[in-house]
Amino acid sequence: MAPPESIQTGLPSKEVGTDAHDEEELANFGYKQELKRDWGLMHNFGISFSIISVITGITTLFSYGLNTGGPAVMSVGWIVVSFFTFAVALGMAEIVSAIPTSGGPYFWAAMLAPPKHSALSSWLTGWFNLLGQVAVTTGITFGCAGLISTVATVKSSYEPTAAKTVGIYAALLVSHGIVNTFGVKVLRYLNNTSILLHSVGVTAIAISVLAKAPTHQPASAVFQKFYDGTAADPDEPGWSIRASPAYVACCGALMSNYTFVGY
């Protein structure tokens, strides 16, 4: 069976403008529209911007980055990971413009794979995507629970424990489930609020660090200083010696990769 014309050309067969035409385009893929299209450009940008969450990636893995390569890997890693992430984003944008379905990657895999491998490709893509989303949700939420526990100690007698942190973590997961199940309409406003909070937060952190830092390192320290703190004991060699500096650098790049994953 030949693919629809809109897949072959990568362009819609008509000028997109009405809901009726959108439904017609989806029908070309054998896909019936059932979800309401009430999210605008800013709402969709907001959810991607929130998932990336630069503040979360920096605060939860800052010490990890310092110990797995130090400033050099943390700074250069962002540049390298950003480049490849942008390449992936361009590829996904090209596909979604040709196959604008809510199914996302697993539906794309079914449409683009050879017919005999279509079901398997879709199944693998769907499950890997689900497992990845579950993992990133639990990771980010656990990091948030740790931050809440830390902030709660400021000017208070609160003492964080593992049990308390897990309790906060569980409460956050439940709240996420409730909002996504019963408050989908609220998400658009939360996403827009998130854009503002993240923009203000990142700007505030950048300004405060530059303004309040007691000393400032030269650019050579930021982009060239490599540090390996992976040894379990200070007297033992780290993984840059036991394996290679490249291995430690790859581990350190996970800091920026973790921030971009899931968008």
Dihedral angle, C-alpha 256, 260, 261, 263, nearest 10 °: 170
CA distance 147 to 172: 12
Helix then strand then coil, in percent of the chain rounded to 5, is: 70, 0, 25
Q: How many percent of the chain have pLDDT more than 90? A: 32
Buried b (16+ CB within 10 A) or exposed e, 52-86: bbbbbbbbbbeebbbbbbbbbbbbbbbeebeeebe
pTM: 0.74
Residue 262 structure tokens? 């899931």
pLDDT exceeds 50 at position 59:
yes
CA distance 245 to 252: 10
When pLDDT is averaged across residues 14-42 and rounded to a whole number, the result is 67
Return mean pLDDT, the chain.
Answer: 83
Torsion sign (Cα): 77, 82, 87, 92: positive
Do 204 and 58 meet the contact criterion of CB atoms below 8 Å apart? no
3-class secondary structure, 102: coil
Do 89 and 262 meet the contact criterion of CB atoms below 8 Å apart? no
Residue 204 structure tokens? 């505030």
Long-range contacts of 241-249 (CB under 8 A, 24+ apart): 248/68, 248/69, 248/73, 249/68, 249/69, 249/73, 249/77
Largest CA-CA distance found in the chain, in angstroms, rounded: 69
For the ranges 11-20, 75-84, 94-103, 191-200, which has the lowest average pLDDT?
11-20
Q: What is the pLDDT of residue 166?
A: 95
Q: What is the pLDDT of residue 19?
A: 63
CA distance 104 to 106: 6
246 DSSP 8-state letter: H
